[in-house]
Amino acid sequence: MQFNRTKLTDPELVFMYRSIILPRMIEEKMLVLLRQGKISKWFSGIGQEAIAVGSTLALQKDEWIMPLHRNLGVFTTRQMGLEKLFKQWQGNKDGYSKGRERSFHFGSKPHYICGMISHLGPQLALADGVALAYKLRQENKVSLAYSGDGGTSEGDFHEALNVAAVWELPVIFVIENNGYGLSTPVNEQYRCESLVNKAKGYGMEGIRIDGNNILEVYDTIRGVRDYCINNQKPYLIECMTFRMRGHEEASGTKYVPQELFEEWGKKDPVKNYEQFLVTEGVLNEMQIADIRHEFKEYIEAELKAAFEAEAIVPNSEEELGDVYARKVNGQSSIVNIENQIHDSPFTIHEKRLIDALQDGLRQSLEQHENLVLMGQDIAEYGGAFKITEGFVEQFGKHRIRNTPLCESAIVGAALGLSLEGFKSVMEMQFADFVSVGFNQIVNNLAKIHYRWGQNADVVIRMPTGGGVGAGPFHSQSNEAWFTHVPGLKVVYPSNPQDAKGLMIAAINDPNPVMFFEHKALYRSVSGTVPDIYYETPIGKAIVSKAGTDITVITYGAGVHWALAYQEQHPDISLHILDLRTLLPLDYESIRNAVAITGKVLILHEDTLTGGMGGEVSAWISEHCFELLDAPVMRCASLDTPVPFNLDLEKNFMAKSRLDAYVNKLAAY
């Protein structure tokens, strides 16, 4: 192995040695503890330390890194105290995730380290978002994300590199090509000659280097960092290395030919560098022994302290309390229209739902300089539904961003922006397409605050629903996919005033909000909308029409179906509750609405099985049993995909069975 010290001084070379030997020694200790049954799972980075350590040293301390499961060297090189790290791995309350996350799946904002999720690939797009934040602020910084050779086969790898190239983001993508993805050798993973060749396909530069040579890694990444900043472009680095242990310690290495261990054992990044320093006269054997002794004592002392930590006493209130981030700083000064409507100190205008949404977005962009909108065709074209028409002229293309066709990467980029304190609204062109961004939403955005205290300040706009003969993939109601995910908020306005106020509230909320907008209501529903910047509270239902015979609990288009039904059937008096927010549910308003009539019909456009109606019905049965005079009934759409033919679609829709359900309940 050829080492080139370039202009590095002796103390700098020694510092590098200390940086690379520490994670090696920690791991050696971990393997002993594992054999003693004192710790659980362990993913080893032995043999790959030069990559994590060299790249972390090459970055500034306040540049975000997205490490994976073999990157202990990132954590130690960012000077994280060992006691807290050990507590993290033991699942202790005083670790980085309050015992909620295993192994390396945690982050630390003060250290600019973003916690990985298990899925291989999603973190790459977060690096895009962080780099976008740097670019928008014109800061001279880069973000850096790792991928294994296996991870490069994930769609997220392709999406993240493509977005970084198209948006010219200063991101360094580092592939650790260690020969295997679990038991799968690289010849069963990809067909290109080398992974760095993929860079060309995205229109970016790339280089393949010896990942076991810490000086080569450090020097390359220093240079690449300058390139990314000066040219405002991403860069791909393929680091050749080898996984010297099993995928994780329990899984063994039987499938790896012994010769490979012998061959790569000779290329050990720690031993070779140590040898180089001795040959170079930078360190002698005594000094090396001293450093090793110092670290041994350090590790033992910190481990002892960690093992003495008290066991966790579970507290459900605290667990639930950490799922969502709390609002901070002066948000209470925003007008809550529902407290002030009677004073009417503001002007109002008649608006369609679509115009009200546009109002909410525009005023939010004026309010928050750090708010960015992203979506397919949302810039000059104004979006598929023209909601963002005119925004580019007012706010510029840097804030109103057209995206390539890659929902997963854009949701990930939104989370990356949030790491850097930006707010973002992403437009799904149709709610149906959320399925290809699903993982980022339900696993990254939703869980991040509970896992390590980082919020995801992201709103995802979901043009949803059917009724216009658009077929199975432009008509779905998929809100219930998300109401089952702790950490998300799910909002679904039915009228213009709520649409604007809830949009503003969603953007002000520090948590990820799924914002459903019924496409058929965009231009068919109008109402008065205050001109001022105001919030409609998330988590509050509203009585759309008071009545005495049957309570209809509904949302979205269902509200309009119920109102229209009432108009056509004056003999029966419906009490109509518009839920407006589906997660969290407003149980108090539900109870009050049940109490008024004792007969409850839950109505929604979504299909029956597993829909919101099931959840609301179960809650009413459990908590309002004494208030009921009839079984809770659900009127929902047929349990089929949404059909294209208009007659079939009409038959599919819950609306076509509303009359039957009302009569059934009335007669009960």
Ligand X SMILES: Cc1ncc(C[n+]2csc(CCOP(=O)(O)OP(=O)(O)O)c2C)c(N)n1
Strand segments, DSSP code E, in 182-275 are: 184-185, 205-210, 235-240
DSSP letter assigned to residue 476: -
**Least spacing, CB of residue 181 vs ligand X, in Å:** 3
Binding-site member from 112, 180, 516, 561 for ligand X (CB under 6 A): 180
Smallest distance from ligand X to CB 243, Å: 5
Instruction: Measure Cα distances from 204 to 135, 163, 406, 461 in Å.
Output: 17, 11, 18, 31
Kindly state the helix (H) or strand (E) to which residue 515 belongs, with its residue range: strand 513-518
Query: Binding pattern to ligand X, positions 157-176, x when CB under 6 A?
Result: -------------------x
Q: Out of 23, 47, 151, 467, point to the residue binding ligand X (CB under 6 A).
A: 151
Q: Which of residues 362-381 bind ligand X (CB under 6 A)?
A: none
* Residue nearer to ligand X on the CB measure, 149 or 210: 149
Which residues, other chains included, contact 60 with Cβ-Cβ below 8 Å and sequence gap of 6+? 141
Taking each helix axis from N to C terminus, what angle separates 10-35 and 214-231, rounded to the nearest 10 degrees? 110
Please name every residue paired with 380 in a beta bridge, in sequence order, or none if there are none. Answer: none
Q: Nearest 5 degrees, angle CA 540-CA 542-CA 545? A: 170
Build a one-symbol-per-residue string for 447-476: x at contacts with ligand X by CB under 6 A, - elsewhere. Answer: ------------------------------
Rounded Cα distance between 21 and 50, Å, is: 10
Question: Using the rule CB under 6 A, which residue among 54, 115, 150, 558 binds ligand X?
Answer: 150
Q: Which is nearer to ligand X, 47 or 496 (CB)?
A: 47
Closest CB 376 distance from ligand X, rounded Å: 24
157 C-beta neighbours (distance < 10 Å), count: 25
Cα within 13 Å of Cα(249), Cβ side? 19
Rounded to whole angstroms, the Cα distance separating 172 from 352 reads 45
CA-to-CA distance for 459 and 246, rounded, in angstroms?
Answer: 40
Give the one residue of 128, 149, 509, 578 binding ligand X; rule: CB under 6 A.
149
Q: Which member of 69, 474, 575, 604 is catalytic?
A: 474
Q: Pick the closer one to ligand X by CB: 257 or 641.
A: 257
The smaller minimum CB distance to ligand X, of residues 63 and 156, is found at 156
Q: How far is the CB of 152 from ligand X (least distance, A)?
A: 7
Q: Pick the piece of the chain touching ligand X (CB under 6 A) from 20-28, 180-188, 360-368, 372-380.
A: 180-188
Interface segment toward ligand X; rule CB under 6 A; list 148-156, 395-403, 454-462, 629-637: 148-156
The CA angle 596-598-603, to the nearest 5 degrees, is 90
The CA–CA distances, whole Å, from 220 to 22, 56, 197 equal 22, 12, 17
Helix (H) or strand (E) holding 66: strand 65-66
Does 342 participate in catalysis according to the annotation?
A: no
Q: Which one of 95, 148, 466, 487 is in contact with ligand X (CB under 6 A)?
A: 148
Per-residue DSSP letter, 469: S
Q: How many residues bind ligand X (CB under 6 A)?
A: 15
* 222 binding ligand X? (CB under 6 A): no
Say which residues have a Cβ less than 8 Å from residue 550's Cβ, sequence separation at least 6.
Answer: 572, 573, 574, 575, 597, 599, 600, 601, 662, 665, 666
Q: Which of 118, 140, 339, 609 binds ligand X (CB under 6 A)?
A: 118
Residues 6+ apart with CB under 8 A from 241: 47, 48, 50, 51, 176, 177, 178, 211, 212, 269
Residue number, 411 or 577, with CB nearest to ligand X: 411
Instruction: Sketch the per residue contact string, 395 through 434, with ligand X: x for CB under 6 A, - otherwise.
Output: ----------------------------------------
Nearest-approach distance from CB 394 to ligand X, in angstroms: 40
Which of these segments, 15-23, 114-122, 208-216, 555-563, binds ligand X (CB under 6 A)?
114-122
Nearest to 274 by CA among 1, 73, 7: 1
Nearest Cα to Cα of residue 265 among 208, 218, 212: 212
Member of 105, 243, 575, 599 binding ligand X (CB under 6 A): 243
- Structure tokens that stand for 270 in this block: 């720690």
Distance (Å, whole) CA 46 – CA 22: 11
The minimum distance between CB 92 and ligand X, in angstroms, equals 24
Nearer to ligand X, 247 or 580 (CB): 247
328: burial class by Cβ within 10 Å (0-12, 13-18, 19+)?
A: exposed
- Out of 84, 119, 292, 569, the residue judged to bind ligand X by CB under 6 A: 119
* Binding string, residues 47-86; x marks residues near ligand X by CB under 6 A: -----------------------x----------------
Check binding of 178 to ligand X (CB under 6 A).
yes
Using the rule CB under 6 A, give the single segment among 94-102, 116-124, 294-302, 623-631 that binds ligand X.
116-124
Among 32, 182, 301, 646, binds ligand X (CB under 6 A): 182
Closest CB to ligand X among residues 117, 552: 117
Q: What's the first-to-final CA gap in the chain, in angstroms?
A: 85
User: By CB under 6 A, is residue 251 in contact with ligand X?
Assistant: no
Return d(Cα 274, Cα 284) in angstroms, integer: 9
Which CB sits closer to ligand X, 150 or 643? 150
Length of the chain (residues): 668
Q: Which is nearer to ligand X, 176 or 605 (CB)?
A: 176
Give the C-alpha distances (Å, rounded to integers) separating 252 from 49, 176, 402, 412: 20, 20, 47, 33
Among 58, 72, 85, 120, binds ligand X (CB under 6 A): 120
Q: Shortest distance, CB of residue 444 to ligand X, whole angstroms?
A: 12
Interface residue with ligand X among 67, 107, 181, 487 (CB under 6 A) is: 181
Minimum CB separation of residue 412 from ligand X in Å reads: 14
Structural tokens at position 522? 């965009």
As measured in angstroms, the least distance from the Cβ of 406 to ligand X is: 17
> Binding string to ligand X for residues 586 to 625, with x set by CB under 6 A, is what?
----------------------------------------
DSSP annotation of 467 reads: S
- Give the footprint of ligand X on this chain (CB under 6 A): 70, 118-120, 148-151, 176, 178, 180-182, 243, 247
Q: Point out the residues that are catalytic.
A: 474
